[in-house]
Amino acid sequence: MVAAGRLGNKSGQGLLTGLTRQKATEAPGFTVLGHSANFDDLKGTGGDVTLHLGGGYAPDASKTAVLVELGSECLGQHTGEHMGQEGSNAVGFARYRNGSDAPSTLIEIVHQPNTSDAAIEAARAIFEVQGFDTVLCKDLAGRIVDRLVRPKYNDALRFLDEGLATAEDMDKTCCMGLGYPVGPLARVHSGGLAQHFEISKALHDMTGLPGYAPVRRAVVAKAAQTGGMAKAAE
Amino acid sequence: MTITKIGVCGAGGTMGAGIALVAARAGMQTVCFDLSPDALARQRAAAQKFFGRSVDKGRMTQGDCDAALARMQDSSDLNDLADCDMVIEAIFENLDVKKDLFAKLNAICKPDTIFASNTSTLSITQIAGGCGREDRVVGMHFCLPAQVMKLIEMSRGINTSEEVFTAAWDWTETAGQIPVETQDKPGFILNALLVPFNNDVLRAIEAGLATPEDIDTAIKVGLGYKMGPCTLLELIGLDTQVLLGEAFFPSRWTPAPPFRRSAAAWWPPDVLGINRAKGC
């Protein structure tokens, strides 16, 4: 874990908060509705939490929490939003996976401004007891990982077009210089350039930020996929 | 062209000292230049300690250690670099300062001396411009700590000759390093990908997306990175991140205005008690 309070922030001492969180060892019972390839082994035990897989959602105020599996969409698209005051017992979640790669153990838990603490804690506990690692984030486009990493993949793909270096040298630089297990170009190709296009486009549509705009190689891959042409680029 | 004698400018700093260790360890006569004799003395002690640990770990013999240290000559006189085959500068990251140094070295060094710059963000072509031997200037960006990290980003300026680039490239391999070739563009490969990523991380924190701890966890677990970006930023130093961002052209690569304020408020000097990596 990171060292406590080296940079601090709220106290004016720095960036890291120094706050650490112990993983939950107990979780409330839950009922699973729907199906998702990301959670083949998740079996409900029955209880006060409803867990919607595959994008479904039905509000139920009688529950401690209603958990909604998210794709690239925001939780607000299911629950509705109003003047920044939205929030209930509905909590979003997504198991991170790089495109078509195998899913990771990371669960991004998504909350709204007025999501109840009990609902958030229930969500974290359910997934942590199942062996997942959870992080909590606001209901913003791309959540944490895709929000941060997709612009980097776009940069790497653009640099490749611009001739900055070979793909091999760019990946080697990141692996040797930054300790990445896989370079950004190998990673984005592994997950699929067409998948990257879809995720980047969704982020760009929601944020309007140029860093998310799908770059040429992703556009080409998506066009090849859509048009049924040979996917030589991948 | 065979390179057997190296000069390192800025050898009193962390990066320059590491480069000098690489050169001396590889069997090169190494002139360690710095304007500060005190800084050179500190790095001399650090070099003894580093090579001593290498002996303890069986990576080199005591004889090799003694020979490497003997090959390192400290100097605060630029004239001592006159007969070096290659001079590598690792001085302050400022275009005018680097240009001034190469212009002075051009008047001192033998005609075929290669000038290499360890700049992480500046243009090799611009650094070389007007120095008098633009064809003999090459980019050679080491990673911190240079004596441990093998990677070197090699770039050529518009006027760099093929002979010079090849000679410098061959030297890195002789010294046991691993070169990659990149164009002469801001940040080369590593910082061109890392600096905007770090700026995006800081923007996410400022937007309240998640805590820095959860951002680190997400990146480590989701992508398998050894270190989370917030912890890395702590090592780099927020002040250095601002400088790196400002070295690039205005875009999302530039630190957001709120972050400039935050960096000033969150980063009192020397509060970490850890070795902050400068000049990455």
**Tens digit of each residue's pLDDT (9 = 90 or more) over B132-185:** 999 999 999 999 899 999 999 999 999 999 999 999 999 999 999 999 999 998
Is there a domain that residue A11 lies in? Answer: no
Domains of chain B: residue spans and CATH: 5-182 (3.40.50.720), 189-264 (1.10.1040.10)
Task: Answer whether residue B94 shows pLDDT above 50.
Answer: yes
Enter the DSSP assignment of A39. Answer: G
What is the ipTM for the molecules in this complex? 0.91
**Tens digit of each residue's pLDDT (9 = 90 or more) over B239-267:** 888 888 877 755 555 565 556 655 555 55
Is there a domain that residue A21 lies in? Answer: no
Tell me, yes or no, whether A133 and A208 share the same domain: no
pLDDT of residue B241: 85
CB B120 within 8 A of CB B93: yes
pLDDT of residue B255: 60
CB A214 within 8 A of CB A197: yes
Residues ≥6 apart with Cβ < 8 Å to B59: none
Beta carbons of A2 and B207 less than 8 Å apart: no
Beta carbons of A137 and B210 less than 8 Å apart: yes
Judging contacts by C-beta atoms under 8 Å, the chain A residues touching residue B178 are 172, 176
Tell me, yes or no, whether A40 and A133 share the same domain: yes
Judging contacts by C-beta atoms under 8 Å, the chain A residues touching residue B197 are 148-149, 151-152
Task: Answer whether residue B235 shows pLDDT above 80.
Answer: yes
pLDDT of residue B279: 37
Is there a domain that residue A196 lies in? Answer: yes
Quote the domain boundaries for residue A178.
Answer: 145-233
pLDDT bucket at B50, cuts 50 / 70 / 90? very high
Is there a domain that residue A4 lies in? Answer: no
B72-75 and B86-89 beta bridge pairing = unpaired
Tell me, yes or no, whether A123 and A202 share the same domain: no
pLDDT of residue B250: 55
The CATH number for A177's domain is 1.10.1040.10
pTM of the model: 0.88
pLDDT bucket at B280, cuts 50 / 70 / 90? very low
Distance between CA atoms of residues B150 and B86, nearest Å: 19
CB A165 within 8 A of CB A158: no
Q: Does B143 contact chain A (CB < 8 Å)?
A: yes
Which burial class, exposed, middle or buried, applies to A93 when counting CB atoms under 10 A from its CB (0-12, 13-18, 19+)? buried
Q: Does B233 contact chain A (CB < 8 Å)?
A: yes
DSSP states of B30-98: EEEE-S-HHHHHHHHHHHHHHHHHHHHTTSS-HHHHHHHHHTEEEES-GGGGTT-SEEEE---S-HHHH
pLDDT of residue A19: 72
Average pLDDT of chain B to the nearest whole number: 90
Task: Count CB-CB contacts under 10 A for residue B174.
Answer: 14
Task: Answer whether residue A171 shows pLDDT above 90.
Answer: yes
Q: List the catalytic residues of B.
A: 120, 141, 153, 191
